[in-house]
Amino acid sequence: MINRLLVANRGEIARRVFATCRALGVQTVAVHSDADADAPFVAEADQAVRLPGSSPTETYLRVDLILDAARRSGADAVHPGYGFLAENAEFAAAVTDAGLTWVGPPAKVIAAMGDKLAAKALLAEAGVPMLPSWTDTDEITDFPVLVKASAGGGGRGMRIVRTADELAEAVASARREAAAAFGDGTVFIERYVERGRHVEVQIFGDAHGRVVALGDRECSIQRRHQKIVEEAPAVVPDGVRTALHEAAVAAGRAVDYLGAGTVEFLLAPGGEFFFLEMNTRLQVEHPVTELCTGLDLVGLQLLVAEGEPLPAALPASTGHAIEVRLCAEDAAAGWRPATGTLHRFSVGAVATEFGGLAGPGLRLDSGVLAGSVVGVHYDSMLAKVIAWGRTRAEATRLLASALARAELHGVTTNRDLLVRVLRSPAFAAVEIDTGFLDRHPEVFAPLLPADRLPITALAAALAAAAQRRATAPVLSGLPSGWRNVPAVPQVSRFVGPDGDEIEIRYRLDRTGRLAEWSSTSAAEGAPERPTATETTGSAGEPIVALVEATPDRVMLDVDGVRRAYRVHRVGSAVFVDGPDGAASLVELPRLPLPTAAVAAGSLLAPLPGVVTRVHVEVGQRVAAGDPLLTLEAMKLEHPVLAPIDGVVAELPVPTGGQVQTGAVLAVVDEKDPR
């Protein structure tokens, strides 16, 4: 029996395993870097052990530190989570050699499947269909192809190559990224299937020789080859489903599989499928399988690790579950990772966290809470939001609505993109594949329409006025915004989500009613918005009346329809959640202080990171879009491109240099000094 379990991972992964341990009466041990000392998973563990080290990322990869933590805490078992060390055969062997119970497949199985080239050869002998692959680039004559990391997954070290001219740089870039993420830069190349779908099968094996399939999942909607929307079951014909399950079980039996694993396939448009890889761990997307089967897959892992057989009767999949990965990133800016403090993190109507559901509803598996700091050291995923419904349409509607209503303040997320994907006609029609996002650029638009941003800013201004009246030391009984000269409007200025300035002018009468309002955008070429009143409007402006305004809630009547806006202020930052979407605004001071200016043409670091490559030299002429340097953050490479045609005037950061947000990376002079 397992009595005290150490989880060799962090964040949402550790919290998920701890939830099952609490239900089973198993004591828990967390390990953490200094960067994670105040993280929720550390606080939830029965014991926590600090991992010393100068690099927050390397601490979790130190086998010696993990084993020492297990010894000091008295743990008798280790669960690797589903990342970092989960597919490290040496770690599995070291845990077993230390006399501890390893919650996962044996080291020899991990090693066999960890080398993707060797795994493909082994499973091909077992009859699992394979794509052609190469290690020698000189052998490749047909394109497109896909460069893949041999030692890892999660989309890291993966590149699509469509022409021979792109191949060498793609291989070099993939090797660098794979080496940074997995410590192994080995890559191989496969034929790339256009409009292929990513479908996977959950398998489980026990020590008594039984290997079973516990359902399948659709994971085709991806960014940078990383899944962001997953669902169970996959929408495939019954004949294809049966063949997928048989191939997955055959793969498991070929290696005497033990524990939880996932066999991933590429489904071609004609129904033919090919083996991609076997993940010898529990997958991030396992909750959709749990909700459809009612099983606790972590509980099954512990059961099998204790030597017990799988239950004789396993439930069939019912209903439909959809999961989205809520990430701290700006999808419209090339998936740029985002950092900061989560001032508010609320996904309403959640029925359960890290567990099953008794009926239709929402599940939240989160690694963060309100107040959590999102840094640059780890993956950008904040949480998984999962919905179960009797049908796919029911689950989709529930999940999209919950995301749209969520209050996510302080860090840019991919929430709007996820909602647009779920509400898109193509998703409803199951017209999905791994290239879905490339073919549907419309899903990158923010939920809040541009023409609704002025009303949202008006709500922010009215809430601020209400806050000032509520905290006024004198005459607090006067209506918010009341002036002794009522003909003069109040003025509030904000920086909008796109960086443009918005000026709101409004006037309240002596009863506190909105007499008139107008807005002006500082965007280039944007005309001043004409005045609108509660009785008349012009040039298509909405007719707006103020119903009520408090510091955290504003009710407006817009063209005869009442709309409620939730307002949350943190310093000068104002977060507004309305019926059309959310907006993050920054209120500008009425008397701004002078600030230092940067040189024209300066490229600023969008987030902290390390400059891994500098592609140009000072004095070199570049064209708009040319790569200047490469910035690495959150384990991914981010190219920094020239914004204009010009000459490189400055390169203040050398290769290997670390930068903070806002640091000048390069200066491009539009004028040719020659």
pLDDT in tens, 412-446: 999 999 999 999 999 999 999 999 999 999 999 99
Q: Which residue has the tokens 């091909």?
A: 124
Q: Classify the phi-psi angles of 26: left when phi > 0, otherwise alpha if psi is within -120 to 50, otherwise beta.
A: beta
The answer on pLDDT for 672 being more than 70 is no
The kind and range of the H/E element at 211 are strand 211-223
| 249 three-class SS | helix
| 342 three-class SS | coil
Q: How far apart are CA 255 and CA 275, in angstroms?
A: 15
Q: Which of 22-36, 50-64, 624-638, 653-667 has the highest mean pLDDT?
A: 22-36
Please state, for a pLDDT cut of 70, what percent of the chain lies above it. Answer: 91
Instruction: Give the mean pLDDT of the chain.
Output: 89
Segment 88-95 mean pLDDT: 97
The answer on pLDDT for 527 being more than 60 is no
Q: What is the pLDDT of residues 222-275, one digit of tens each?
A: 998 899 999 999 999 999 999 999 999 999 999 999 999 999 999 999 899 999
Q: How far apart are CA 91 and CA 182, in angstroms?
A: 14
The kind and range of the H/E element at 304 are helix 297-305
The answer on pLDDT for 594 being more than 70 is no
Instruction: List CB contacts of 417: < 8 A, sequence separation 6 or more.
Output: 331, 332, 443, 444
Q: How far apart are CA 337 and CA 345, in angstroms?
A: 18
| 609 three-class SS | strand
pLDDT band with cut points at 50, 70 and 90 for residue 553: very high
Segment 518-522 mean pLDDT: 84
Q: How far apart are CA 656 and CA 653, in angstroms?
A: 8
The answer on pLDDT for 530 being more than 60 is no
Q: What is the pLDDT of residues 561-582, one digit of tens each?
A: 999 999 999 999 999 999 999 9
Q: What is the pLDDT of residues 21-59, one digit of tens each?
A: 999 999 999 999 999 999 999 999 999 999 998 777 789
pLDDT of the residue at 529:
46
Instruction: List CB contacts of 507: < 8 A, sequence separation 6 or more.
Output: 481, 486, 487, 488, 489, 490, 514, 515, 516, 517
pLDDT of the residue at 528:
46
Q: How far apart are CA 126 and CA 271, in angstroms?
A: 20
Which runs of E-coded beta strand occur in 376-449?
381-389, 407-409
Q: State the angle between helix axes of 11-24 and 297-305 in degrees (0 to 180), rounded to the nearest 10.
A: 70
pLDDT of the residue at 269:
93
pLDDT of the residue at 635:
59
Q: How far apart are CA 253 and CA 592, in angstroms?
A: 69
User: Could you count the other beta carbons within 10 Å of the beta carbon of residue 175?
Assistant: 17
pLDDT band with cut points at 50, 70 and 90 for residue 664: confident
As to burial, measured by CB atoms within 10 angstroms (0-12 exposed, 13-18 middle, 19+ buried), residue 203 is buried
Q: How far apart are CA 84 and CA 183, in angstroms?
A: 11
Q: What is the pLDDT of residues 368-413, one digit of tens each?
A: 999 999 988 888 999 999 999 999 999 999 999 999 999 999 999 9
Segment 503-518 mean pLDDT: 88
